[in-house]
Chains A and B, each alone.
Chain A
Amino acid sequence: MNVQDRRRLLGPGAAKPMAFSNTTTHVPEKKSTDLTPKGNESEQELSLHTGFIENCNGSALVEARSLGHQTSLISAVYGPRSIRGSFTSQGTISIQLKNGLLEKYNTNELKEVSSFLMGIFNSVVNLSRYPKSGIDIFVYLTYDKDLTNNPQDDDSQSKMTSSQISSLIPHCITSITLALADAGIELVDMAGAGEANGTVVSFIKNGEEIVGFWKDDGDDEDLLECLDRCKEQYNRYRDLMISCLMNQET
């Protein structure tokens, strides 16, 4: 960005962001014990909350914590609210993903994910019920970090982030679905998703219908096996979502 933003206090232009050294002699000593088994989805703890943001129509917080990774994201649904301009027979959905505290993902990645999510929720929300209205969904990736602390060289680090954003997508879908339900917006069915090896498959209707498919990196693993693993996760997430919503009612 070359244009100076005069509306925000961004500090002196000559200041440089802190660059942390990659190689210091002190760090590598105490990391050998942190060899957690990779991809341990079964040990993932998930906690879901809804309706804690006051100035929106529906909101949800999803916190996932596994041995190696901790994620927390907040979704807020604003709408259905009327849109300007001419009549439309269907509602429109917009989804914005926002980097949280750790500015980890670049805007392109986030845009890509949000358009993927938009594709899913265009088919999941019963849009014909909301003519001339817009539903704006904001997903705020508050917190997302590795708990295993091994300093990596840049190459593997970039690889890590790309696989991480795909592991985030199921949580995004879970939180958006919950927030939409919290806002009282009519859905065809609870959408959920699972992730396996950078492949994300989103299901509705008890896993009978696929509403979204995302694939990073062309590992030529067996697609059907991925599908089964995703479906397994989808079932688990869906059960959690339902129990969360049921508990909230009482």
Chain B
Amino acid sequence: MAESTTLETIEIHPITFPPEVLARISPELSLQRHLSLGIRPCLRKYEEFRDVAIENNTLSRYADAGNIDTKNNILGSNVLKSGKTIVITSITGGIIEETSASIKDLDDFGEEELFEVTKEEDIIANYASVYPVVEVERGRVGACTDEEMTISQKLHDSILHSRILPKKALKVKAGVRSANEDGTFSVLYPDELEDDTLNETNLKMKRKWSYVLYAKIVVLSRTGPVFDLCWNSLMYALQSVKLPRAFIDERASDLRMTIRTRGRSATIRETYEIICDQTKSVPLMINAKNIAFASNYGIVELDPECQLQNSDNSEEEEVDIDMDKLNTVLIADLDTEAEETSIHSTISILAAPSGNYKQLTLMGGGAKITPEMIKRSLLLSRVRADDLSTRFNI
């Protein structure tokens, strides 16, 4: 008897969770429940993108055209807010001296073959990239995470292969600083002079420099995949970049000394630094037609067992469900933990506004990617790119 009474007292209550708890415990179920209602966990529709708010060039040294911030070394910047996520991109620069050891100058016969190989890649060799360092703030210290590393690398490679940044645009057209008779300095830039007294041949310098661009991308409040946001922010920032003019001192422009010690002779070249002009700058000439914007899509199968049904006609619907025929949907602009963890089939696209696609990445994981899905996502990404490209105005 005692046993039966204890058995009677056991009651099993169905456990209910508030939506946000369910989303943590079972992201998959939470996602399916939402999708069955025609919305996503972030309450967007299937093909709805997050709105993007941007602020360009407010952090750079050239932010205020009349008043250059001399202690600031940021050349271009962008703050992008999409949903809850904030991406801050700042572009800084460096200068590297070009070594003349180009592959074409080599006499070695063995290099011929290598030259043939590289010839095919010559077009790409005309383009440069930026060196991005992505930091996703997530309350940890220490080494960078895999995500940060892969995003940085992908940004770097994608910019190179999108042919956005021609190497020519990064060449330093160096000026020469000379001391005037009264002790003041003036800087002459060969391309700015109109008279021929000091034209380029006069100031011809043997050494060449080019700018190197670094991007620091900080992601605050990460809620989902962030490659797209980083890429778009970087695109906006790159368009706002201004390169400072640089010059060298005339006394150092071509100084060589031959010295002889103990019968050996050597040439000493004076080492001198190239200095950037405090005020003068030129806009970075990027390939504007190759500027592309990123968007991503996920493909998910609707699980009929997770459907939320109306209590009135639940029995009728039960009959309709065909287990063999799974319904797949395309979801644009993935966000939230639920979508990130349970959608494994993704499409990532870089599209230029003119309908010029730069990159397409397909990841098949679970749900089947159909050609219709790919077509649809290509179309959407183009619309998205058109929209995003209109946001840029200085």
Residues of chain A touching chain B, judged by Cβ–Cβ distance below 8 Å, are 7-12, 14-27, 52-56, 59, 74, 76, 78, 96, 100-102, 136, 138, 140, 142-143, 145-146, 149, 151, 157
Tell me the B109-163 residues at the A interface (CB within 8 Å).
131-133, 137-139, 141, 143-144, 149, 152-153, 156
Q: Is the CB of B131 within 8 A of A11?
A: yes
**Residue B186 interfacial (CB < 8 Å):** yes
Contact A102–B149 (Cβ < 8 Å): no
Residues of chain B within 8 A (CB-CB) of A9 are: 131-133, 152-153, 156
Cross-chain contact of B133 among A10, A76, A100 (Cβ < 8 A): A10
Known: A55-B138, A78-B139. A17 touches B278 (CB 8 A): no
Residues of A near B94 (CB, < 8 A) are 11, 15-18
Question: B90, A138: Cβ atoms under 8 Å?
Answer: no
CB distance from A179 to the nearest CB of B (A): 12
Known: A24-B185, A53-B221, A74-B220. A138 touches B70 (CB 8 A): no
Query: What are 8 residue pairs bridging A and B, where the CB atoms are less than 8 Å apart in the complex?
Result: A9-B132, A15-B95, A24-B277, A52-B221, A53-B220, A149-B67, A149-B68, A149-B69
The answer to the question of B77 belonging to the interface, with a C-beta cut-off of 8 Å to chain A, is: yes
A149 touching B221 in the complex, CB below 8 Å, given contacts A15-B94, A20-B276, A76-B139 = no
Main secondary structure of the interface of A (DSSP, over half): loop
B279 contacts A by Cβ under 8 Å: yes
C-alpha gap A8/B132 in the complex (Å):
8
5 interchain residue pairs of minimum CB distance: A78-B139, A11-B131, A15-B96, A15-B94, A53-B221
Question: Interface majority SS on B: helix, strand, loop or mixed?
Answer: strand
Residue of B nearest to A9 (CB): B131
Q: Closest approach, in angstroms, between the C-beta of A18 and any C-beta of chain B?
A: 5
From the candidates A14, A78, A102, A140, name the one contacting B96 in the complex (CB within 8 A).
Answer: A14
Instruction: Tell me whether A54 and B221 are in contact (CB under 8 A).
Output: yes
CB proximity of B127 to chain A, nearest CB, Å: 15
Determine the distance from Cα of A21 to Cα of B277 in the docked complex, in whole angstroms: 6
Please give the distance in Å from B70's CB to the nearest CB on chain A. Answer: 5
Chain B positions 156-202 with a Cβ under 8 Å from a chain A Cβ: 156, 184-187
Interface flag for B298 (CB, 8 Å) = no
Interface contacts beyond A20-B244, A138-B137: sample of 20 additional A-B pairs, CB < 8 Å, sorted by A: A8-B144, A10-B214, A11-B214, A14-B97, A15-B94, A18-B94, A19-B276, A21-B247, A24-B185, A25-B186, A26-B278, A27-B70, A55-B137, A55-B138, A56-B139, A78-B139, A136-B139, A151-B70, A151-B278, A157-B71
A52 / chain B contacts, CB cutoff of 8 Å: 84, 86, 221
Least CB distance from B335 to A in Å reads 10
Smallest Cβ-Cβ distance to A14: which chain B residue: B96
Of listed B85, B86, B220, residue having the most chain A CB within 10 A? B220
Residues of chain B with a CB closer than 8 A to A59's CB? 221
Neighbouring B residues of A14 by C-beta, 8 Å: 96-97
Given that A25-B186, A140-B137 are contacting pairs, would A7 and B143 also be in contact in the complex, using a CB cutoff of 8 Å?
yes
Q: How far is the CA of A76 from the CA of B73 in the complex (A)?
A: 26
